Structure 1
């Protein structure tokens, strides 16, 4: 006897739903002013929304997949680019059904839920590098998907509203080159190692937006790897047993790499700009080093790099 039977189908009875109004766009402030070199990762704005969620007749495990439609920052798959250089976005969502924040993209297998609960989404506007001025017109979006053997797959998209105007606060240097014409150094002032003479002060001039935190790195141009407080003598100098120092106020400056990155080695703070003209007094002088003191010509070359934080 041959018996034919129709295939058994399993009804998908469970549902997971978002509120009927979906996920309203998250909106960053209309304008944000930020200093050009603030540390990478600085959060400029954080916006959250309670998307909410409701579950009915869910008897199976549920797969929660949260992805981002956007271009990841090179080397950082959790931060996404905007069209404004130095500005990116990070997304977050409720961990599991009702936990704390977890960063997106993420995939989770969750046990069956029941009832309704809060379910939050969040987007942070963050610094990813030196900030440029511009209007944010290109933004990533986040998609949330729930799927499982006992439910109908459901998706929702969390979008961001474009148009935030970014202003990069900087300073312009009004004295791009400083020349310290030191007086003749007398040997009787440079008897012991570390003794100094010939202090000569020249101001470094800037014009800044108010509130910019100004930091400076001075680099030994003759020996860029020099991290001491003694500037190398430039080629053509005939003296020996003597070097040069540059002081910020009364403190000898240690030299560092040529970089505007916040926290650069031997970077130092010159203060916060009040807005408009700002002067940073720098002093150069002779300093006695080891070895025999041989009279002759002394010259040194250094560069300064400004960081606006």
Structure 2
């Protein structure tokens, strides 16, 4: 007698990736102006508001935007130089001082992506400066150098006297830098500080920080399954290519895609929506013949047979070949089933024994 169990173990592979963002409002108000101070600012610490949570579609390439760009107001300092060099600079803080090697584009500028402390998620920081002569610089990324080893800085104009205003505007976006395999917080923290320069760095400073954001990979639930193919005699396989005869209640399984998320794209990003779902079924022990899974080897195992999968129309399911999940709705998500039948298939001379195998389903979300 030929034994019977076909073990089918779907295992989802996540693809990453999703987001939105909001801006901040100016909060400057009347402030104390020390007449003896070289520079002063009416701006309190600034916080760039990110969405509290983002569902991230899988399989985005590194460099894909996970949020829209969030732009601050222009933070200004008023300085009173006396024939001095005047400018403004920015220092990065914490994890944001570490480069990831990825760059993105903002307003025509190439912006380096910096670390956030969460694997797979980086932050791009773009700067625009207001110089002491009232002109605005082009947007620029961060680089270490300039006076006092700033990470970004305005033109340093010499020979300035009287009341001079310098300022800086910030734009940030979160960016994919690698795999995001599970939910993760990017916690709000200070990412930079701004400080004026009058022949040297002078007080005061204004801190720029972000709010916290939760990233959640968008996937369907694909539970493991086992199926009993049935018990058969060698005589049930009269020739190579023979399939095991149907047995009531045997060999039937529904591959399940449960609780698939739906939604809409976040404008300006590559995320927020699973556009399609494909799955690939691969035999753990290879193929005995084309599209027939080999049995688990070992003492007491049957020989001369393998396991073949058929779809609801009775067609052979190709192994190691991506299949599209039919009927999937990006907008509504939902639960889906793919009905399959597992049958034994004769590949050569049959000897009785245990007949089991394992297949793995890899799911790709785009």
Q: TM-score normalized by structure 1?
A: 0.59
| Contact 2:72–2:169 (8 Å) recurs in 1 | yes
Match of 1:9 in 2: none
Match of 2:338 in 1: 280
From 303, 318, 323, the equivalent of 1:239 is 303
Q: Deviations over 1:237-288 (max 9, x none)?
A: 4434x6545467855131xxxxxxxxxxx66553646444310234545678
Give secondary structure in 2 for the equivalent of 1:45: coil
- Map of 1:184-223 to 2, 5 A cutoff? 184-187=236-239, 189=241, 202-211=253-262, 214-222=277-285
CA–CA distance in structure 1, aligned partners of residues 221 and 99 of structure 2:
30
CA–CA distance in structure 2, aligned partners of residues 187 and 72 of structure 1:
68
CA–CA distance in structure 2, aligned partners of residues 304 and 284 of structure 1:
15
- Give the superposition deviation at 1:54: 6.4
Give secondary structure in 2 for the equivalent of 1:179: strand
CA–CA distance in structure 2, aligned partners of residues 52 and 267 of structure 1:
52
Match of 1:257 in 2: none
Match of 2:116 in 1: 80
Q: Is there any run of 5+ residues in structure 1 with no aligned partner, and where?
A: 1-14, 191-195, 255-265
Match of 1:193 in 2: none
CA–CA distance in structure 2, aligned partners of residues 44 and 61 of structure 1:
37
Match of 1:94 in 2: 127
| Contact 1:70–1:140 (8 Å) recurs in 2 | no
Higher RCO (Cα < 8 Å, 6 or more apart): 2
CA–CA distance in structure 2, aligned partners of residues 121 and 233 of structure 1:
60
Structure 1 residue 158 corresponds to structure 2 residue 208: yes
Match of 2:359 in 1: 302
Match of 1:132 in 2: 183
TM-aligned CA distance change 1:210 to 1:72, over 3 Å: same
CA–CA distance in structure 2, aligned partners of residues 268 and 91 of structure 1:
36
Give secondary structure in 1 for the equivalent of 2:257: strand
From 113, 122, 129, the equivalent of 2:171 is 122
| Contact 1:247–1:284 (8 Å) recurs in 2 | yes
Q: TM-score normalized by structure 2?
A: 0.52
- Give the superposition deviation at 1:303: 2.9
Aligned residues: 264
| Contact 2:143–2:152 (8 Å) recurs in 1 | no
CA–CA distance in structure 2, aligned partners of residues 101 and 28 of structure 1:
21
TM-aligned CA distance change 1:168 to 1:150, over 3 Å: same
Give secondary structure in 2 for the equivalent of 1:29: coil
Alignment RMSD: 4.9
| Contact 1:24–1:159 (8 Å) recurs in 2 | yes
TM-aligned CA distance change 1:95 to 1:49, over 3 Å: closer
- Give the superposition deviation at 1:296: 3.4
